[in-house]
Amino acid sequence: MALHFEILGRFNRARAAQLTLPHFVCQTPLFMPVGTQGTIKGLANNELERIGCQIILGNTYHLALRPTSELLEEAGGLHNFMNWPRAMLTDSGGFQMVSLLHLADITEEGVTFQSPVDGKPMLLTPEESIQIQNRIGADIIMALDDVVKTTITGPRIEEAMYRTLRWIDRCITAHKRPHDQNLFGIVQGGLDPELRDICVKGLVDRNLPGYAIGGLAGGEDKDSFWRVVAQCTAALPEDKPRYVMGVGYPLDIVVCSALGADMYDCVYPTRTARFGTALIPEGVLKLKHRAMADDTRPIDPTCPCMVCKNYTRAYIHCLVTKDAMGSQLLSYHNLYYMMRLSRNLHTSIVEGRFPKFVCDFLQTMFPKGDVPEWVCNAMEVAGIDISSCCATFPSCQEKYSSDEIGTNRFDKVKIEI
């Protein structure tokens, strides 16, 4: 395996680790910005390094269309092509089964997409996905999985889960660079705990370098979301990284980290920046709002980033309504916020003050004590007392026994999903 995962500290389920990859030594928990076609919109690579970005994510489907994996291979891989010295992860293209469903036809062989570039059909099989990712050369590559929305019910969920397990074997066979690149499997199964268990067991039996929890952050309710994360993290190996795909809301990341997850990715921080919204400890700040026009404060007075040190809300308000520079500055700030959150999660776990960090985070975001019930329930399972920052803390003892709280097992019988 082309990685080394060392746990440096823990609090119950939560853990802080050092993840050594071919191109970089990373500290977890960590957030990965999404650079679909080899770029984070609005930011140069030296800026990404400056704010502490450790891994960026590229997308196999889009990179195969443009600039093509053949060109990337000729250039010495995506690292050389985009001059990025740190770690990289490529998604398999499976997510496009959901996002481009109107262009896709899914069979046992693979997925046939209608190219949005020229309209020509493109067959993406597990073998082709891995071959493309081997050419791209990312530190972590994802197995092609059969992805369905979590809001879908019925036999399609079971079909997709079993197909995901069949496809992982084809991915393993096709993978020609196991000493340079780490193949992660993806747990599917929708919101069905039995299907999730089957998928976890099947993937763990294959002894992969790491594991992802897929099929979430797609419209399911938050109560279902955290329970699937809790179930999967409890069953996945302790000595391997756990990656919750598509998660980018700061609150979700704090909750998932408390439940034992390590890695996250999402377009949210940069996409919301392009709409004029900044991430702050209290939640979000909408810079397009008229009230920002004469506000001479920084976006976040507690933030040491270049944007908060040098620009006011009023200045950025003028830009976001007229100039691309506004979205660039907000993208910089938002990604700095996410990197700072990742560092604070890691440090608080290592230094043994994770519960205090969680309480401070929640008190700032919910000063009236109106912490969502799903967060309260998740934290009780994680073994973290947040009663001091909740106006009313609902008792979960009818759902969770004292033996379950803060352990690495999640008893789905006692929790109705």
Domain extent, residue 374, equals: 274-384
User: In the structure encoding, which two tokens stand for residue 5, read together?
Assistant: 């995962």
Which residue type does 218 have?
G
Residue 281 lies in a domain: yes
Instruction: Answer for the pair 89, 63: CB distance below 8 angstroms, yes or no.
Output: no
**Beta-strand pair 121-124/263-266:** unpaired
User: In the structure encoding, which two tokens stand for residue 24, read together?
Assistant: 């970089």
Number of domains in the chain: 2
Q: Model confidence at 166, in pLDDT bands (50, 70, 90)?
A: very high
CATH number at residue 28: 3.20.20.105
pLDDT digits (tens, 9 = 90+) for 373-408: 999 999 999 999 999 998 864 444 344 433 332 333
Q: Say yes or no: 174 and 293 in one domain.
A: no
Instruction: Answer for the pair 185, 206: CB distance below 8 angstroms, yes or no.
Output: yes
Catalytic residue positions, numbered? 91, 265
pLDDT at 121 over 90: no
The predicted model gives 46-51 an average pLDDT of 97
Residue 181 lies in a domain: yes
Instruction: Answer for the pair 52, 65: CB distance below 8 angstroms, yes or no.
Output: no
Q: Model confidence at 289, in pLDDT bands (50, 70, 90)?
A: very high
Q: Say yes or no: 204 and 337 in one domain.
A: no
First to last CA, the chain: 35
Q: Which residues line the annotated binding site for substrate? A: 91-95, 145, 188, 215
Least confident piece of the model among 33-42, 215-224, 334-343: 33-42
pLDDT at 7 over 70: yes
The predicted model gives 223-238 an average pLDDT of 98
Q: Which residues line the annotated binding site for Zn(2+)? A: 303, 305, 308, 333
pLDDT at 184 over 50: yes
Residue that wins the pLDDT comparison between 105 and 197 = 197
Q: Say yes or no: 118 and 263 in one domain.
A: yes
Q: Say yes or no: 235 and 281 in one domain.
A: no
Residue 202 φ/ψ region, left for φ over 0, alpha for ψ in the -120 to 50 degree band, beta for the rest: alpha
Q: Say yes or no: 338 and 191 in one domain.
A: no
Is 0.85 surpassed by the pTM of this model? yes
The predicted model gives 318-340 an average pLDDT of 95
Contacts (Cβ under 8 Å, ≥6 apart) of 41: 35, 270, 274, 327, 331
pLDDT of residue 394: 47
pLDDT of residue 396: 43
User: CA 244, CA 337: separation in Å to the nearest integer?
Assistant: 19
pLDDT of residue 227: 98
Q: Say yes or no: 261 and 284 in one domain.
A: no
